[in-house]
Chain A
Amino acid sequence: MQVALKHVFKSFRHNGSTIEVLRDINLTVEEGEFVCLVGPSGCGKSTIVHLIAGLEQPNAGKVLVDGQPVTGPAPSRTVVFQDAALFPWLTVLGNVEFGLRMVGVSRVKRRTRAIEYLKLVHLSKFLHAYPHQLSGGMKQRVAIARALALQPEVLLMDEPFAALDAQTRAVLQNELLEIWALAKPTILFVTHNVREATGLGDRVYVISARPGQIRDVHTVAIPRPRHAEDPQLLAHQHRILGVLGEEIEKVLQEELGEQVHFPEAQHETPPERSMGMHI
Chain B
Amino acid sequence: MSSPQRARPLLVRWWEWLFPPGYAFLKPEAVGLCYLLWWVTSRVFPQWPSPNHVVALLCGDLKDPVFTHALLGSLARMGVGYVLVMVLGVAGGILLGRLPLIDQVMGSVAVAIHAIPGAAWVPLAIIWFGKTEQAVIFTILLGATGIVLVSTDTGIREVPPMIQRASRTLGAKGLRYFWFVVVPAAIPKIVEGLRLAWAFGWRALMAGELLTSVSGLGQLLNQVAKAQQLDQLLAIMLLIAAIGIFVDGLVFKRLEHEVRVRWGLA
CB contacts (< 8 Å) of A136 on chain B: these are none
- Does residue A108 face the partner (Cβ distance < 8 Å to B)? no
- Does residue A101 face the partner (Cβ distance < 8 Å to B)? yes
Give Cα A89–Cα B185 distance, bound, in whole angstroms: 8
Give Cα A274–Cα B47 distance, bound, in whole angstroms: 78
- Does residue A61 face the partner (Cβ distance < 8 Å to B)? no
Give Cα A26–Cα B185 distance, bound, in whole angstroms: 37
Interface size on B, residues (CB 8 A): 23
- Interfacial residues of chain A within 27-56, with CB under 8 A of chain B in the complex: 50, 53-55
- Interfacial residues of chain B within 163-214, with CB under 8 A of chain A in the complex: 163, 165-173, 176, 180-181, 184-185, 187
CB contacts (< 8 Å) of B180 on chain A: these are 98, 101-102
CB contacts (< 8 Å) of B263 on chain A: these are 88-89, 132
Whether the Cβ atoms of B162 and A83 lie closer than 8 Å is: yes
- Does residue B8 face the partner (Cβ distance < 8 Å to A)? no
Whether the Cβ atoms of A88 and B262 lie closer than 8 Å is: yes
Known A101-B180, A131-B264; judge A73-B166 contact (CB<8 A).
no
Whether the Cβ atoms of B171 and A102 lie closer than 8 Å is: yes
Whether the Cβ atoms of B166 and A133 lie closer than 8 Å is: no
Known A130-B262, A133-B1; judge A98-B184 contact (CB<8 A).
no
- Interfacial residues of chain A within 213-246, with CB under 8 A of chain B in the complex: none
Give Cα A88–Cα B259 distance, bound, in whole angstroms: 10
Whether the Cβ atoms of B168 and A55 lie closer than 8 Å is: yes
Query: Which one of A73, A129, A130 lies within 8 Å of B169 (CB-CB)?
Result: A73
Known A101-B180, A102-B176, A130-B262; judge A73-B162 contact (CB<8 A).
no
Give Cα A59–Cα B167 distance, bound, in whole angstroms: 24
- Does residue A209 face the partner (Cβ distance < 8 Å to B)? no
Query: Which one of B162, B171, B261, B262 lies within 8 Å of A85 (CB-CB)?
Result: B162
Query: Which one of B163, B171, B176 lies within 8 Å of A87 (CB-CB)?
Result: B163
CB contacts (< 8 Å) of B169 on chain A: these are 53-55, 73, 77-79
Whether the Cβ atoms of B168 and A89 lie closer than 8 Å is: no
Whether the Cβ atoms of A98 and B167 lie closer than 8 Å is: yes
Known A55-B165, A79-B165; judge A99-B170 contact (CB<8 A).
yes
- Does residue B228 face the partner (Cβ distance < 8 Å to A)? no
Q: Which residue of A lies closest to B176 (CB)?
A: A102
CB contacts (< 8 Å) of A132 on chain B: these are 261-264
Query: Which one of B170, B184, B185 lies within 8 Å of A78 (CB-CB)?
Result: B170
Give Cα A75–Cα B173 distance, bound, in whole angstroms: 12
Whether the Cβ atoms of A89 and B166 lie closer than 8 Å is: no
Tell me which of A74, A90, A130 has the highest count of chain B C-beta atoms within 10 A of its own C-beta: A130
CB contacts (< 8 Å) of A81 on chain B: these are 162, 165-166
Give the Cβ gap from B159 to chain A, nearest Cβ, in Å: 11
Bits for A56-86, please: 1 = Cβ < 8 Å to B, else 0. 0000000000000000011101110101011
Whether the Cβ atoms of A150 and B162 lie closer than 8 Å is: no
Give Cα A30–Cα B266 distance, bound, in whole angstroms: 44
Whether the Cβ atoms of A99 and B171 lie closer than 8 Å is: yes
Query: Which one of B166, B171, B176 lies within 8 Å of A75 (CB-CB)?
Result: B171
Q: Which residue of A lies closest to B184 (CB)?
A: A89
Whether the Cβ atoms of B176 and A85 lie closer than 8 Å is: no
Bits for A132-159, please: 1 = Cβ < 8 Å to B, else 0. 1110000000000010001000000000
Ordered by A's residue number, 20 sampled pairs between the chains whose C-beta atoms are within 8 Å are A53-B165, A54-B169, A55-B168, A55-B169, A73-B168, A75-B171, A81-B166, A85-B162, A86-B166, A87-B167, A88-B262, A89-B187, A89-B263, A90-B184, A98-B180, A102-B173, A102-B180, A132-B262, A132-B264, A133-B1
A contacts, CB < 8 Å to B = 50, 53-55, 73-75, 77-79, 81, 83, 85-90, 98-99, 101-103, 126, 129-134, 146, 150
B contacts, CB < 8 Å to A = 1-2, 162-163, 165-173, 176, 180-181, 184-185, 187, 261-264
Add 8 more A-B contacts to A55-B169, A77-B169, A102-B176 (CB < 8 A): A50-B165, A79-B169, A87-B163, A89-B262, A102-B167, A103-B171, A133-B2, A150-B171
